[in-house]
Chain A
């Protein structure tokens, strides 16, 4: 466990100066990225709305819903659009580190090596401060730290580039999955006869995908660095 946690710690140690970014700058927003991983190309949409967010893989229809409870815990529902089903997870493996993990999830940077990067330039002010980080090996990250928005990320074999930034359509996109049948992860063992669960057994349950990519069968395509 906690590989993602470790990654998060690494990421935010690099950006320690911004770990307490101004809440007022972080607003509901919908972001669409062109993403490539090795030979795979696709788009991922991130819809943020306060303590909730959706991360849609627009190619596979595998969608993650995250909720950061005021009481602390993170909750994850992983929807599979083609099956109109979802699996509910209680993200206990982030216990004690939820706030930092939440920032990481909403930023959605697919890397585990940020601590090796160096701040090269900073421009703008207030909520619009933009920073550019680079590192040896050709990595480059551009982000708006106060808004916690990724502009672009490039590393060997991986690329994220923001395509659109609009008002949040989180509620509309969540409503699409409103009537999906949900299964609690703890009940998977008692639901082996459920057709959806049977399919998931064959495909392998979708795991925390660093890359955000899944193949046509729902298999997570691992990004670099933090496989599970």
Chain B
């Protein structure tokens, strides 16, 4: 507002002075508009006034905008923001608006990565790099386009990952807890699935001849990745043992749908004699849902006596390796196997690195057989998928941001967000802005707050130290408090400060309310933040989340949107539905 007032005054002065032209003779033609000022949209020079008559009163010199801003224009914040506007203008000028311009599409989903999580993570990353932190930018903070996503489910004010990811992947909001089906579904009712299935962006890409891939640090059958390939009346139907004993015979469990994806997609379009080649890259956790309940099927790094949960006797890993049995198809379960993959000689890659969810990034070194990081998996996937000249679709989920928040442990939530940022940066490096759409978003937020009045550069995981102070501020109860906290959850549970697994907190009793943190290192990995409302775990939140985008079609990410817009942006950028339809209906 302040800038606008100054600017208006400048214009008024300019016009008044111009009005002092001579009274003899006709005014000349209006002059051409002046060049844009250096101060971006607020700095455009006003139009020149009408020319005065020659030889008479000479016009007084115009007041320069730069003069008025002389005390401002050398301000670093001012310059930085001005340059940002110039960069954005360049991005706008180079928008690729034509449908189908994106050869490749990459969707990154930070599960539970609400706006406060993004903010705190960028500060933590910056502070780790020796900065104050607030001025830092995560990789996707630098993307030219961003908007907001309204995350509610059709039947839920505060959503879950199943309904939200279905909206993002299929373009239609649906009910909480359901996967790849519309709102006419009855959760848990197998019979209601038929006729309510939704097509997904991954399926359209597959039909269109693109390579496809999914990555998650959660179980690959978990809600977010499942919504790329499965149709299920319940997100929990991850293997056959999770399904109702009666009434679900007509439904296929989620793990089975992943392994049978190629056959199922072809069968769904049987009349078109569709011939697809299956999902090229699948990496994540969740071996238990693919293996039979038989110790003989255990992986070498099993942590359970019997790793598999399946009670139908099927070994889906074996089934996958039978379906994809060429010399260029590989199943891997550990870091060594992952490292051995030659991306230029790989057609299909199936990696299941953990019995359940993969490890938190900060805890990854403790994995028995070793696991790749999210960034490593992203790099490997892109290098395999980009072997297809028709392009690729890749979904990458950082699934454990959500789990760390649920456990009430901000340290791991922020570290996993930073790792997601690293994965995005690598994807950006490996692809071309002219032909690759990259979208980064979240499915929902968490009740995670950044509060109090800490001074600039105060450790984001630390106690609030006020501007000008050296000691922590005290609340009215006489005790210090931390900047980041949770509205609900398990609270400050007793966990070893060095513990890097957020879930260790589930072994300790709920401890909500205020705690004397005077002698506690709140920046330690094992610290679990205070919470107000006691619950078995911290919950999702219902506010909007950010969408960050670059590449062809990214300009469509703007304003406040229903979450389902993400599918439509991807569909526009890749012309997915039209291309898939041309395959299914060639005439």
Q: Which residues of A does B touch, CB under 8 Å? A: 1-3, 51-52, 67, 69, 71-73, 75, 88-93, 95, 179, 181-182, 184-186, 188-194, 197, 200-201, 204-205, 207-208, 227-228
Whether the Cβ atoms of A228 and B507 lie closer than 8 Å is: yes
Nearest CB to that of A191 among chain B residues? B236
Whether the Cβ atoms of B510 and A204 lie closer than 8 Å is: yes
In the assembled complex, which residues on chain A have CB atoms less than 8 Å from the CB atom of B405? 189
Nearest CB to that of B300 among chain A residues? A71
A182 CA / B356 CA spacing, docked (Å): 12
Is B389 in contact with chain A by the CB < 8 A criterion?
no
Given contacts A71-B302, A73-B368, contact A189 B526 (CB under 8 A): no
Total A-B contacts with CB atoms under 8 angstroms apart? 112
Is B504 in contact with chain A by the CB < 8 A criterion?
yes
The smallest beta-carbon distance between A32 and chain B, in angstroms, is 23
In the assembled complex, which residues on chain A have CB atoms less than 8 Å from the CB atom of B495? 1, 93
Is B535 in contact with chain A by the CB < 8 A criterion?
yes
In the assembled complex, which residues on chain A have CB atoms less than 8 Å from the CB atom of B371? none
Whether the Cβ atoms of A2 and B496 lie closer than 8 Å is: yes
Q: Which residues of B does A touch, CB under 8 Å? A: 160-161, 176-177, 223, 235-236, 241-242, 301-305, 309, 311, 356-357, 363, 366, 368, 402-403, 405-407, 494-496, 499, 501, 503-504, 506-510, 526, 535-540
Whether the Cβ atoms of A193 and B494 lie closer than 8 Å is: no
In the assembled complex, which residues on chain B have CB atoms less than 8 Å from the CB atom of A227? 509
Whether the Cβ atoms of A1 and B303 lie closer than 8 Å is: no
Whether the Cβ atoms of A189 and B539 lie closer than 8 Å is: yes
Whether the Cβ atoms of A67 and B305 lie closer than 8 Å is: yes
Inter-chain pairs besides A1-B496, A200-B536, 15 sampled, C-beta below 8 Å: A67-B304, A71-B302, A75-B304, A90-B503, A92-B501, A93-B507, A182-B309, A188-B536, A189-B402, A189-B537, A190-B160, A190-B402, A204-B536, A208-B507, A228-B507
A38 CA / B508 CA spacing, docked (Å): 23
Given contacts A1-B499, A92-B503, contact A184 B357 (CB under 8 A): yes
The B interface, classified by DSSP as helix, strand, loop or mixed, is: loop
The smallest beta-carbon distance between B399 and chain A, in angstroms, is 10
A41 CA / B494 CA spacing, docked (Å): 29
Whether the Cβ atoms of A205 and B366 lie closer than 8 Å is: no
Whether the Cβ atoms of A1 and B494 lie closer than 8 Å is: yes
Q: CB within 8 A of A69: which of B177, B302, B536?
A: B302
In the assembled complex, which residues on chain A have CB atoms less than 8 Å from the CB atom of B236? 191, 194
Given contacts A71-B368, A189-B539, A201-B536, contact A90 B303 (CB under 8 A): yes
In the assembled complex, which residues on chain A have CB atoms less than 8 Å from the CB atom of B526? 1
A179 CA / B310 CA spacing, docked (Å): 11
8 nearest A-B pairs in the assembled complex, by CB-CB distance: A189-B406, A189-B537, A1-B496, A92-B501, A1-B495, A93-B504, A185-B506, A71-B368
Whether the Cβ atoms of A51 and B305 lie closer than 8 Å is: yes
A71 CA / B305 CA spacing, docked (Å): 11
Whether the Cβ atoms of A189 and B304 lie closer than 8 Å is: no
Whether the Cβ atoms of B303 and A228 lie closer than 8 Å is: no
The smallest beta-carbon distance between A221 and chain B, in angstroms, is 13
Whether the Cβ atoms of A181 and B242 lie closer than 8 Å is: yes
In the assembled complex, which residues on chain B have CB atoms less than 8 Å from the CB atom of A205? 506, 510, 536
Q: CB within 8 A of B508: which of A184, A190, A201, A228?
A: A228
The smallest beta-carbon distance between B417 and chain A, in angstroms, is 17
In the assembled complex, which residues on chain A have CB atoms less than 8 Å from the CB atom of B357? 184, 186
In the assembled complex, which residues on chain B have CB atoms less than 8 Å from the CB atom of A73? 303, 368
Whether the Cβ atoms of A184 and B356 lie closer than 8 Å is: yes
Nearest CB to that of A198 among chain B residues? B536
Q: CB within 8 A of B503: which of A71, A186, A194, A197?
A: A186
Looking at A72, A73, A197, the one whose CB has the most chain B CB atoms below 10 A away is A73
Q: CB within 8 A of B536: which of A3, A52, A92, A197?
A: A197
Nearest CB to that of A72 among chain B residues? B368
The smallest beta-carbon distance between B495 and chain A, in angstroms, is 4
Whether the Cβ atoms of B356 and A93 lie closer than 8 Å is: no
24 contacts between A and B (CB under 8 A): A1-B508, A2-B496, A67-B304, A69-B305, A71-B301, A73-B303, A73-B368, A92-B503, A92-B504, A93-B507, A93-B508, A95-B501, A179-B311, A186-B357, A186-B406, A189-B536, A189-B537, A189-B539, A190-B235, A194-B236, A201-B535, A205-B510, A208-B507, A227-B509
Nearest CB to that of B526 among chain A residues? A1
In the assembled complex, which residues on chain A have CB atoms less than 8 Å from the CB atom of B309? 182
Whether the Cβ atoms of B538 and A189 lie closer than 8 Å is: yes
Given contacts A186-B406, A190-B223, contact A69 B508 (CB under 8 A): no
Given contacts A2-B496, A67-B304, contact A192 B507 (CB under 8 A): no
In the assembled complex, which residues on chain A have CB atoms less than 8 Å from the CB atom of B301? 71
Whether the Cβ atoms of A190 and B161 lie closer than 8 Å is: yes
A3 CA / B504 CA spacing, docked (Å): 13
Nearest CB to that of A184 among chain B residues? B356
The smallest beta-carbon distance between A184 and chain B, in angstroms, is 5
A227 CA / B536 CA spacing, docked (Å): 18
A1 CA / B505 CA spacing, docked (Å): 8
A208 CA / B509 CA spacing, docked (Å): 9
The smallest beta-carbon distance between A29 and chain B, in angstroms, is 18
Nearest CB to that of A91 among chain B residues? B507
The smallest beta-carbon distance between A210 and chain B, in angstroms, is 12
The smallest beta-carbon distance between B446 and chain A, in angstroms, is 9
The smallest beta-carbon distance between A152 and chain B, in angstroms, is 29
The smallest beta-carbon distance between A211 and chain B, in angstroms, is 14
In the assembled complex, which residues on chain B have CB atoms less than 8 Å from the CB atom of A200? 536
A108 CA / B482 CA spacing, docked (Å): 39
In the assembled complex, which residues on chain B have CB atoms less than 8 Å from the CB atom of A3? 494
The smallest beta-carbon distance between B315 and chain A, in angstroms, is 19
Q: CB within 8 A of B539: which of A51, A72, A192?
A: A192
The smallest beta-carbon distance between B249 and chain A, in angstroms, is 17
Looking at B235, B305, B366, B510, the one whose CB has the most chain A CB atoms below 10 A away is B305
A212 CA / B363 CA spacing, docked (Å): 31
A146 CA / B537 CA spacing, docked (Å): 42
The smallest beta-carbon distance between A10 and chain B, in angstroms, is 17
A133 CA / B535 CA spacing, docked (Å): 42
A85 CA / B389 CA spacing, docked (Å): 49
Nearest CB to that of B111 among chain A residues? A190
In the assembled complex, which residues on chain A have CB atoms less than 8 Å from the CB atom of B494? 1, 3, 228
The smallest beta-carbon distance between B300 and chain A, in angstroms, is 8
In the assembled complex, which residues on chain A have CB atoms less than 8 Å from the CB atom of B160? 190
In the assembled complex, which residues on chain A have CB atoms less than 8 Å from the CB atom of B503? 90, 92, 185-186
In the assembled complex, which residues on chain B have CB atoms less than 8 Å from the CB atom of A69? 302-305
A69 CA / B368 CA spacing, docked (Å): 11
A1 CA / B304 CA spacing, docked (Å): 22
In the assembled complex, which residues on chain B have CB atoms less than 8 Å from the CB atom of A2? 496
In the assembled complex, which residues on chain B have CB atoms less than 8 Å from the CB atom of A207? 507-509
